[in-house]
Amino acid sequence: MLRSAASLAATTALWASSAFGLSYELAAVIDGAQETPPVVTLGTGTMTGTYDDVTNLLTWTISYSNLTGTINNAHFHGPAPVGTPAGVRVSIPFTAGLTADTLIGSATITNPFETELLGGLWYVNIHSTFQSGGEIRGQVSAVVVPEPATLGLVGLGLAALALRRRR
């Protein structure tokens, strides 16, 4: 009985690890000090989002306020560490002429872009009429979210321990 439980647990572990990918929570604090070169502005913002490495779907919610100029562009840029400029990776839809707003969107990205994003090499850049190269910027960080398969494996482990204890 114990052998069949161990076999079932091993088979389920293999299935679970191949059937599910990883999800990531993304975040950035956005301000003028992170621009290259730094920009003196009262503008600030935050970015939260998710990334699914199976579907390659990137989602975001970006809130910004107090821009000195009005927004005239917004992008994710990369690959670049803090303090280094880089090219556009994903355009962010926006409404022109505002100094504060919330931008919500999604995009499917390529595997090479995934590597850059998860490696901390992307940043959010909000461009404005005050600073066409970018008024506020924030480096994006990614944290793995435990997937449901992990919880299932914990449950199987507990079940196997319970079976062993009954003997």
Specify the pTM.
0.77
**pLDDT for residue 21:** 83
Residue 9 lies in a domain: no
Number of domains forming the structure of the chain:
1
**Element (H or E) spanning 116, and its range?**
helix 111-118
Residue 159 sits in a domain of what CATH number?
Answer: 2.60.40
Average pLDDT of the chain, as a whole number: 86
Residue 60 burial (C-beta neighbours within 10 Å; 0-12, 13-18, 19+)? buried
Looking at per-residue confidence, does 13 or 124 come out higher? 124
Give dist(CA 11, CA 79) in Å, integer.
39
